[in-house]
Structure 1
């Protein structure tokens, strides 16, 4: 920026002139071409940050210069701005736009906080009144209305109330899925687990981003949900919630506290879950075809008992600024099943005919501490870097005692499992709304298990998978866009007695989108992926199932390959939102159950040499009859073929309906789904599940949320059927359980805020206890 100016002869310059020249040259900010930064924040009337608001830098004659959007905390900035007078224009969905003058000098300028007023506006042919679906370039922005927020107690409740057509939300189990598989959940861009979303307070959720064709940091997911929350800088809360089931013992009780101070937040969460009921009861017919004779066996459960309890504790510290979001978390989970018992009557016929009683007693105990570090960094306004590292240690104990008459079988396993997961994502925004990114992941497990009893053995296994992806998003003209995600997977695992197994796999996700207009889209996708075997399958162990059957591990399983082609039409038409799609999927080297005979025993093991083909079609729609009445309908068609040795085919149609009605402080929900029939690609069995229906009513007021409901209120005997036919082994099984019969529940939640109201902390603890122990059913 310094200009070279030649000196004049001494005769032509005076001392005063020289002094003046030096003062000007040494003056801070002397250059007429200095470039500076201007920045600020955008909030609503409640002083809540307005994330992803549009900010435009204009000349005083309104000519456009540059544009940007606010981050999740409402902050924005413009760099390399020439000193001058400007206009700044602010706008976002559901708020009145605002334009302010700004005078920029030779120094970085921080502008006053801009407050936007709420307004009902029409955007993309969708009225921001009631639940709003706004189609963005790479996602759908869903803005919850007051009714949906008021009558929700958790993050899952709110997602359920939104009735997004292509999503299936089970708010009771916390499972969120779409036609292609499980949906990844995020909170402010950070990957979330069940407890994290369960502990979200709906009134703290500003809006929800639904990435039905994930790009950028979400690339690689089947689909992604990102909750955008309102963040505060002071105050805190104490919360209590509990859910008690009626019909059998099932309780879920949680307590949490959170304190906010400036950009920092600190939280402590804890909980206790317990359940006790009559266990799964089975009626099973089996046929085993030995070379010289056939054995028939009929099994009837005479008594079943199940008891489980779980405790968790989480400590978390978080720091969020305009430039970064970093957190550290320490978690502890204890899961115990002190009782899982079944007594049965066995009737044998064929080669031998006799009746005998059996008893199956199992106990499990797992303790898992873990540490998670997370960081998201805005390197520049167009570049982001995200890093996540998590390590966990798990101690598992498993004991099984099986008796049949006077014969006794014993299995006792002690396991230590170490897990480490690391991922980093880099993304840069290019011109014309294009973007380029890279994602590196590594997942590693090491397990050591000592088996004693019928078969004494020490099993040591390590498994690691490294994945790398590039992600490029390109807009073509105004109506076409493409997302291309090439990558690879490098899978390694080694059992202590075997050579290392190594598998390279090409991975790719490509999506092509044609935007018909602002409310209609056509999408086509081609995906290539892989799937690793479950860690509990890879061993050289034998275990006694009963005195006719042995379960055996297989350390030589192949890498499963997945190929998927799909096409979809999606539309948001005033009150109606819907999609129609069709998908073809081929699975090569599918890992499944394998049966073969060895002497006088049936061996149940695993194989990876079969293929599976799926043809699927779906219709999903939701309709808002009024602000008080909403409905959602889903219909699915499945056609599955497993060719080759067993040649299994199944066709099924499934339909479901959900209806929500809001009235003042009350909300009523009615839901139901038809019976289902699906092929389980692991067990190779056809599973038939009964129809399910239920209703709930909730009352919400200030910090209170009370809900009561019932499932299958008029059904006494829900039966789950399963059958399979193999060349040497056939079976048919009917299962019943108290938890699948008519039940009720009551749920109560209360939150007390102190200081300035604060968003409820989210527990991102994974409460699953990992294990590589091979267990019998």
Structure 2
């Protein structure tokens, strides 16, 4: 009897194991006539009733693989540009390696093929984007390519290297490794296989508002030497770089170096201020009659990386020197109210920083279902700051020298579960120590250490073919201590959650929620005073609260033939938001910081991109924003704005035209309402083989672009207008050339982070 029971249990176990077995399908695509491989073709796995199950794209060698497939009978659908689509039946009972599938050329339609939704492939956790030939050909950098893709809901400023979505800044990665401005700026579009856009980030991207990951081609031999230069027109400025890369087997060696500089007549400001003291009121009108700014920066970077199927390891060393030898403003001042007089002032600042840095990165495929991603990086910065303010016979001096040490560690473990679900752990720690010595009007030594640790758990659950839930709870611990002050400790709960409902293959609805926190900038957390002028003193505050952030939102994405659409509504709520604080003290107005105000922003955005033809692409954005401050300060601002980008490609030439309407914003730190002018511009590019030449202009017919701002902070009010030569009628010429030797290779990312951090209290 026991034997029959054992056999029965084993039989039931065998049936259960078979029913829930997870398999993978792999294979290869090639041309029927030439037998050449077909890279970047779309592969879709469908149920017998054509319901979508999973999808992928062939790699540069024509190979594809789809994992985590249940036993069953399916349809496999293949499609790519210039070829007839093909469908075949496949029965899956175990891991299946299919014979090479040969696709027939569609000679009739080949010259008129238009990539519709196939270039934007919606997957369960991301949008997979395959750049087409024209988008790649007419791009010189990673930013150019991202701009040419015209992803709805993504704003790309390829001139400044900023990428934003409705929720904030988009974090950029290259092959899963976090990238900085120079990484993407020197990435060659022809070396990019595909782009992953995580609009609802999870896994290693869980802390990002949104993430874009460039996937590059991989080669084992050859190298390149490249030079590029960009010269501005209208003011003195330029950016010049040289790079070289060598591939030897699985190891890659890179060297980057560059120099950039600016020199122009500063910012012209006209400002009306009012200072309210207990017994008097003073008004001041100031107008710039001379300004000058000079800045130069040099950097060098060396990197070694080793890549195998099991792991990726890289070591990077960098050095940056940033110098501002001159930043000078001369103003004419007119005082009224308590006393009346006219006089002049001069504000002169110099700054320089030296920053050596390192970065260690490792990605380990522990098994087919387990991955571990580790990053350790750090830097040391020597900062020097000098400011001299003169008003008639009165003088003010501030000198500061700072030693800043910064170290971070990030780890992410990801586990693939059954039924295409995922789970994992994300841990991050940031630590900084800064020591500053101030001399001049106020002599003081400041020492601050700050550390934040974050732990996230995340889980991704698929509900049938229509729904996907990403759930990531976490916790943050922030500690900081300023010399002679009490230790500050803040615990915060964190949460990222989004729910995607796939209406069908071309439409998806997303519900988004997030709970987070934001620590004060290290330059705010001090007990230092610094003279602004002889009516104002800037003062730090070491006792600021930890800002809590709550974000609900809803988004809708659609692919409608030649149209791609994104619509979203987001609400950002900052509780205990850090703002400027103004109060009188004796005969001065103190400008410090406080954290008892709340900031709320409700934003709605509609973005549409239209592929009129292979040669003409258009993107239009419209945005509404309602911003308000409550609590200690009460403010409200509403803004409507729009923008348009047009790309036209013809043979080796490209034309780009763009424009943006006026807009308003409420600065949640300074309490000022800002009015930005309309901007517009165009560029003409020529791309041929390894040469890139581009010329462009911004605001070519505008001589007086002005930025307005005003604020009412009870004891201090101001209204100002700013303009500068760099805001209007500017242009540039860019030339780049790359020489490939051996086999053509991909351009390695340049990981130099050229931002300089500092805890020095500075007057703007």
Deviation at residue 49 of structure 1 after TM alignment: 11
Correspondence 1:659-698 to 2 at 5 A: 659-698=646-685
Deviation at residue 48 of structure 1 after TM alignment: 9.3
Indicate which of 562, 572, 577 corresponds to 1:575.
562
In structure 2, the residue corresponding to 1:203 is in which secondary structure?
helix
Contact 2:597 2:633 in 1 (8 A): no
Taking the aligned partners of 1:277 and 1:331, their CA distance within structure 2 comes to: 29
In structure 2, the residue corresponding to 1:306 is in which secondary structure?
strand
* Deviation digits for residues 394-431 of structure 1 (CA, Å, limit 9, x no counterpart): 10110001111111111111100000010000001111
Q: Give the aligned partner of residue 307 of structure 2.
A: 320
TM normalised by structure 2 equals 0.89
Matched, 1:367 2:329: no
Indicate which of 238, 246, 263 corresponds to 1:251.
238
Matched, 1:272 2:253: no
Correspondence 1:682-761 to 2 at 5 A: 682-761=669-748
Correspondence 1:402-441 to 2 at 5 A: 402-441=389-428
Matched, 1:153 2:162: no
Which structure would you say has the larger Rg? 1
Q: Give the aligned partner of residue 474 of structure 1.
A: 461
In structure 1, the residue corresponding to 2:532 is in which secondary structure?
strand
Indicate which of 614, 638, 659 corresponds to 1:627.
614
Question: CA 1:79–1:470 in 2, change beyond 3 Å: closer, same or farther?
Answer: closer
Taking the aligned partners of 2:565 and 2:56, their CA distance within structure 1 comes to: 31
Deviation at residue 569 of structure 1 after TM alignment: 1.4
Taking the aligned partners of 1:118 and 1:314, their CA distance within structure 2 comes to: 47
Q: Give the aligned partner of residue 540 of structure 1.
A: 527
Matched, 1:226 2:220: no
Q: Give the aligned partner of residue 189 of structure 2.
A: 202
Question: CA 1:275–1:409 in 2, change beyond 3 Å: closer, same or farther?
Answer: same
Contact 1:358 1:404 in 2 (8 A): yes
Matched, 1:501 2:488: yes
Taking the aligned partners of 1:192 and 1:113, their CA distance within structure 2 comes to: 38
Matched, 1:763 2:750: yes
In structure 1, the residue corresponding to 2:146 is in which secondary structure?
helix
Matched, 1:189 2:176: yes
Q: Give the aligned partner of residue 48 of structure 2.
A: none
Q: Give the aligned partner of residue 433 of structure 2.
A: 446
Question: CA 1:749–1:112 in 2, change beyond 3 Å: closer, same or farther?
Answer: farther
* Deviation digits for residues 671-706 of structure 1 (CA, Å, limit 9, x no counterpart): 000011100000011000100000111011000111
Deviation at residue 761 of structure 1 after TM alignment: 2.0
The two structures, once aligned, show a CA RMSD in angstroms of: 3.4
- How many corresponding residue pairs? 725
Deviation at residue 74 of structure 1 after TM alignment: 8.6
Q: Give the aligned partner of residue 122 of structure 2.
A: 135
* Deviation digits for residues 596-631 of structure 1 (CA, Å, limit 9, x no counterpart): 000000000001010111111111110011111110
Deviation at residue 757 of structure 1 after TM alignment: 0.3
Q: Give the aligned partner of residue 338 of structure 1.
A: 325
Deviation at residue 217 of structure 1 after TM alignment: 2.1
Matched, 1:584 2:574: no
Correspondence 1:78-157 to 2 at 5 A: 128=115, 132-157=119-144
* Deviation digits for residues 289-322 of structure 1 (CA, Å, limit 9, x no counterpart): 1111100001111100000000010000011111
Taking the aligned partners of 2:66 and 2:664, their CA distance within structure 1 comes to: 57
In structure 2, the residue corresponding to 1:546 is in which secondary structure?
coil
Contact 1:611 1:642 in 2 (8 A): yes
Matched, 1:646 2:626: no
Contact 1:48 1:230 in 2 (8 A): no
Deviation at residue 768 of structure 1 after TM alignment: 0.8
Question: CA 1:754–1:120 in 2, change beyond 3 Å: closer, same or farther?
Answer: farther
In structure 2, the residue corresponding to 1:220 is in which secondary structure?
coil
Taking the aligned partners of 2:520 and 2:466, their CA distance within structure 1 comes to: 41
Indicate which of 536, 539, 551 corresponds to 1:549.
536
Deviation at residue 385 of structure 1 after TM alignment: 0.4
* Deviation digits for residues 357-399 of structure 1 (CA, Å, limit 9, x no counterpart): 1111100000000110001111111111000000111101100
Deviation at residue 643 of structure 1 after TM alignment: 2.1
Question: CA 1:68–1:378 in 2, change beyond 3 Å: closer, same or farther?
Answer: farther
Indicate which of 471, 476, 479 corresponds to 1:484.
471
Contact 1:41 1:49 in 2 (8 A): no
Taking the aligned partners of 1:461 and 1:351, their CA distance within structure 2 comes to: 41
Deviation at residue 285 of structure 1 after TM alignment: 0.4
* Deviation digits for residues 420-473 of structure 1 (CA, Å, limit 9, x no counterpart): 010000001111111001100001100000000000000000010000101101
Taking the aligned partners of 2:203 and 2:496, their CA distance within structure 1 comes to: 12
Deviation at residue 249 of structure 1 after TM alignment: 0.7
Deviation at residue 568 of structure 1 after TM alignment: 1.3
Contact 2:25 2:98 in 1 (8 A): no
Structure 2: segments with no counterpart, 5+ residues: 1-22, 46-53, 69-73
Contact 1:568 1:579 in 2 (8 A): yes
Taking the aligned partners of 2:511 and 2:165, their CA distance within structure 1 comes to: 16
In structure 2, the residue corresponding to 1:148 is in which secondary structure?
helix
* Deviation digits for residues 622-680 of structure 1 (CA, Å, limit 9, x no counterpart): 00111111100001101111123432111100100001111111111110000111000
Taking the aligned partners of 1:598 and 1:775, their CA distance within structure 2 comes to: 20
In structure 2, the residue corresponding to 1:658 is in which secondary structure?
strand
Contact 1:131 1:162 in 2 (8 A): no
Deviation at residue 571 of structure 1 after TM alignment: 0.3
Contact 1:131 1:144 in 2 (8 A): no
Deviation at residue 127 of structure 1 after TM alignment: 6.2
Contact 2:571 2:603 in 1 (8 A): yes
Contact 1:72 1:228 in 2 (8 A): no
Taking the aligned partners of 2:627 and 2:413, their CA distance within structure 1 comes to: 39
Taking the aligned partners of 1:79 and 1:227, their CA distance within structure 2 comes to: 22
Contact 1:52 1:72 in 2 (8 A): no
Matched, 1:354 2:354: no
Indicate which of 182, 200, 204 corresponds to 1:217.
204
Taking the aligned partners of 1:277 and 1:217, their CA distance within structure 2 comes to: 42
TM normalised by structure 1 equals 0.88
Taking the aligned partners of 1:447 and 1:234, their CA distance within structure 2 comes to: 44
Question: CA 1:454–1:273 in 2, change beyond 3 Å: closer, same or farther?
Answer: same
Contact 1:417 1:771 in 2 (8 A): yes
Contact 1:241 1:254 in 2 (8 A): yes
Deviation at residue 98 of structure 1 after TM alignment: 11
Indicate which of 600, 605, 608 corresponds to 2:592.
605
Indicate which of 513, 526, 545 corresponds to 2:513.
526
Indicate which of 130, 141, 158 corresponds to 1:171.
158
Q: Give the aligned partner of residue 9 of structure 2.
A: none
Structure 1: segments with no counterpart, 5+ residues: 1-36, 57-65, 81-86, 102-108
